[in-house]
Amino acid sequence: DWLCSVCSAGQKSVSCELCPVKSGAFKPTKDNKWVHVACTIWLPEMCMEDVVAMEHPHGLEDVDKRRFKLTCVVCQTKNGACIQCKHRSCKAGFHVGCALQKRSGVKMQQLDPSDVEDGVILRCWCPLHSEDQKKVTAAERGSKKKSPAKKNNPPQKSPAKKTPIRKPPTARATPATGDSEEAPTRKRGRPAKQPAKASEAAGTD
């Protein structure tokens, strides 16, 4: 039979070093302390040495001490390390375990971008700004539905310009024979002499 890490260690109950929530999946550290799997994932200083089996959480001593001084907006205590709202002007903090409760009002988002190798982007918003985030998301979805789909119309061809066709000069045909009647040409030189009259050639008056 399969046993969780707590039962496998012979423990009846354990406490997370990072949040006050008593339920959830726990994993032991090398120095026999217990933390939630979710707390290990969401706190930036924490990591799993074995990411496949999700075993051996590491980095508990590296967690920023200022996180333990923040008051959780969900449970209103300082029993653990808090993460903070993603909104740029908000400093609200909350425990990971508290934020994952159904009625916490905290929005938790996990992105898996293609440009990040072997990693994810984690974002969270406090109850106040999670409502703003929902409105932004709804507005974006509404604008995508209203925007008509663009049709890929084929490019229109511009009308071709017509150039006048010049025909070569043709010879004129005579109606009788059909032979071509060429236009007379003028030659340079002296004018031809006129033939003598018949009376002058005979030498008579």
**For the segment 108-129, what is each residue's pLDDT rounded down to a tens digit?**
888 776 666 666 788 899 988 8
Which residue, chain included where needed, has tokens 């293609």? 114
What is the distance between the alpha carbons of residues 13 and 128, in angstroms, rounded to a whole number? 34
Using alpha carbons, list the distances in angstroms from residue 61 to 17, 41, 45, 58, 65.
Answer: 11, 15, 9, 8, 9
Neighbours of 104 (CB within 10 A): 20
| pLDDT tens string 152-172 | 555 565 555 555 555 555 444
pTM: 0.61
How many other CB atoms are there within 10 angstroms of residue 46's CB atom?
21
Tell me the average pLDDT of the chain.
Answer: 76
Residue 144: phi and psi, rounded to 5, are -70, -35
Read off the pLDDT of residues 124-145 as tens digits, 9 standing for 90 and up. Answer: 999 888 876 666 555 555 555 5
Alpha-carbon gap, residue 81 to 61, rounded angstroms:
12
